């Protein structure tokens, strides 16, 4: 019985030692780590003003990816569909 628990514990430690750093590297390479940290730090603060959203005519126009032609929102640097640079 103890041997099975020891094996399970070793597998769990291996998952933590290998999986967590691998997850961090993948998120950092894809830019998701910065977005995750930004959302976590911004989520704790409450907005101080209740300003209405800007009118639709004031919104920045959507761009199209030069490679695949899909819509790319303002502020995106990489196309989420094909991975091409949008700069």
The answer on pLDDT for 31 being more than 70 is yes
pTM of the model: 0.30
- Of 7-21, 39-53, 56-70, the one with minimum mean pLDDT is 39-53
For residue 74, what pLDDT is reported?
84
Q: Rounded CA gap, 40 and 33, in Å?
A: 10
CA proximity to 66, closest of 87, 50, 36: 87
φ, ψ of residue 85 to 5 degrees: the values are: -70, 140
For residue 60, what pLDDT is reported?
60
Residue 74 and residue 62 in contact, taking contact as beta carbons nearer than 8 Å: yes
What is the pLDDT of the chain when averaged over all its residues? 76
Domain regions of the chain by residue span: 62-87
Choice between 34 and 18, residue whose per-residue pLDDT is larger = 18
Query: Mapping DSSP to helix (H, G, I), strand (E, B) and coil, where does residue 3 land?
Result: helix
The answer on pLDDT for 86 being more than 60 is yes
The answer on pLDDT for 51 being more than 80 is no
């Amino acid at each position: 019985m103890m041997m099975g628990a020891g094996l399970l514990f070793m597998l769990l430690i291996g998952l933590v030692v290998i999986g967590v750093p691998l997850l961090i590297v993948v998120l950092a390479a894809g830019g998701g780590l910065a977005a995750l940290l930004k959302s976590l730090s911004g989520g704790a603060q409450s907005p101080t003003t209740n300003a209405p959203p800007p009118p639709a005519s004031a919104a920045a126009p959507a761009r199209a990816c030069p490679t695949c032609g899909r819509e790319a929102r303002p502020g995106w640097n990489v196309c989420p569909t094909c991975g091409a640079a949008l700069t």
